[in-house]
Amino acid sequence: MPPSSARLREFLPTARELAGLFAARGLACVVAWHAGFRALSDDDYARIVIAQRFAHAPAFDPSGTSWLPAPFWVYGAAFRVFGTGLDVARATAISLGLGATLAVYVAARLLGASNFGALLGAAASSLLVPYSTLLGLAAVPELPCAALLLFSAATLARAEPALRVWGGVALLVASWSRYEAWPIALVFALFCAWDALRQRRLGYAVGGVLALAGPLGWLALGRAEHGDALFFVARVTAYRRALGGLPESLWQRVREYPFALFANAPVLCGAWPVLAWFARRRGLFGLRSGRCLLAMLALLAFLVLGSTRDGVPTHHAARVLLPLWLLGSVFIGHLLAELSATRTRAALTLGLLALAALPSLRPLSASCAERSAELAAGRAARQFTRAGLAIDTADYGYFAVQAAFGSPLGTRVLDDHDPRHTSPNPFGSTAALDGVLRKQALHFALVVTEHAALLPARCSARWASPRYALFECPD
């Protein structure tokens, strides 16, 4: 680490570079929108619903589940100030995506990239990584968390204690957002402890303490609130096993993430070794990425271990690899800037790589949640009532209905479709359904068209679509 006294503001982009960063992320959002992407899964809408509840009834742990709380604080605060509409969630997601692109730029500069190389790397992180391109529109924490992790790991390449404190702050936020931050927090804290012992600098120790505060705090909360510090592992494992369809062999689980690393970002992973080979032949100076790369490898090892124990995400599992892809984007940007004779040639090369990455978006966006019917139903119900709404969907689509309705505290889901739960069937008869509506004081019922005939005679139709019907059921 070079003995310097640089400050964080020295690694920030100029106004022109900032405009370039935002243009790259904006282009990624436009591409994702035109590819048909609206949400990664029903979890996106579930997160929005929890944040809407938080806006009306703040709580330290808004979800009460295995989900970490920081993203709900952010979205809940936005809902509290600007309203609980889906447009607010989308605007917040885009704003966080812009911030993530800025964080990638700063990380590249910390690792030793030039201004132009950092600009190319941040643009590559928006355009060459399919999950990054899409998640810049989604109300989920993966992209901003990944950028925070890259930034914090990049501060390990610097000797300034103040930068290490900033890295610890970033890890504190990331560790309360996503679990994949935890192995990086551990590696970061170990390096900080080593540097503090060698150089007797308090800033290193402060950075390490901040990095560990997130994981240790959540473990303590789990012990106090749930009676088990590792309650979140048990919940994720139980849900995955309830769903079924797990890989059959240990080898399949071990290879899941290393294979996904290349399969889900083929252009990025294919271009990097080619550019690295040319750079080595020309004897170009590389980035100070040793410690940062070690932190990312710790993340990969953590994910492989979690896969063997059924403790990884139940859908789109590759999205947790975003920090590694963002680091790869920094490498790509740096190498393009170093190898190209002119800036124009480097930018054109990145543009060609971005065009080559476009086909990778199509299968990924096709596997994402398409909930236009549920969103339309939720918006329609909002026109008639603000509370007392019963919701019936064939699957987890009720989260999209609640998110579009905007007031989840005023709704009651008739069947949550959770494989871990067993509850009486409210659709066994008209009397059973009427009893639920009366007991819960639900004056409106949004049901799938197949169940419309089960509603009691006191209910009258107010709105209908090919898949859903809204009824008003006065006392």
The span from the CA of 274 to the CA of 352, in Å, is 15
Q: Report, as an integer, the average pLDDT of 346-364.
A: 93
**341: CB partners within 8 A, 6+ apart:** none
> Which tops the pLDDT comparison, 74 or 282?
74
Q: Report, as an integer, the average pLDDT of 380-387.
A: 95
11-to-103, 113, 118, 187 alpha-carbon distances in Å: 10, 10, 10, 23
Contacts 24+ apart (CB under 8 A), 340-349: 343/116, 346/116, 346/120, 347/120
Band of residue 4 on the pLDDT scale cut at 50, 70, 90: low
Q: Report, as an integer, the average pLDDT of 143-163.
A: 97
Q: Report, as an integer, the average pLDDT of 174-179.
A: 97
Q: What is the pLDDT of residue 428?
A: 86
pLDDT of 169 above 70? yes
**Mean pLDDT taken over the chain:** 92
pLDDT of 234 above 90? no
Alpha helices by DSSP H, listed for 176-230, are 181-199, 202-226
Q: What is the pLDDT of residue 230?
A: 83
Q: What is the pLDDT of residue 2?
A: 44
Quick one: 248 exposed, middle or buried, by C-beta within 10 A (0-12, 13-18, 19+)?
exposed
DSSP character string of 300-342: HHHHHHHHHTT-S-SS-GGGGGHHHHHHHHHHHHHHHHHH-SS
Band of residue 247 on the pLDDT scale cut at 50, 70, 90: low
Q: Three-state SS for 470? A: strand
Domain ranges in the chain are 8-366, 372-472
The span from the CA of 371 to the CA of 397, in Å, is 7
| Region of poorest pLDDT, from 104-108, 340-344, 351-355 | 340-344
Q: Report, as an integer, the average pLDDT of 359-364.
A: 89
pLDDT of 81 above 60? yes
pTM, 2 dp: 0.94
Q: Report, as an integer, the average pLDDT of 444-455.
A: 95
Band of residue 3 on the pLDDT scale cut at 50, 70, 90: very low
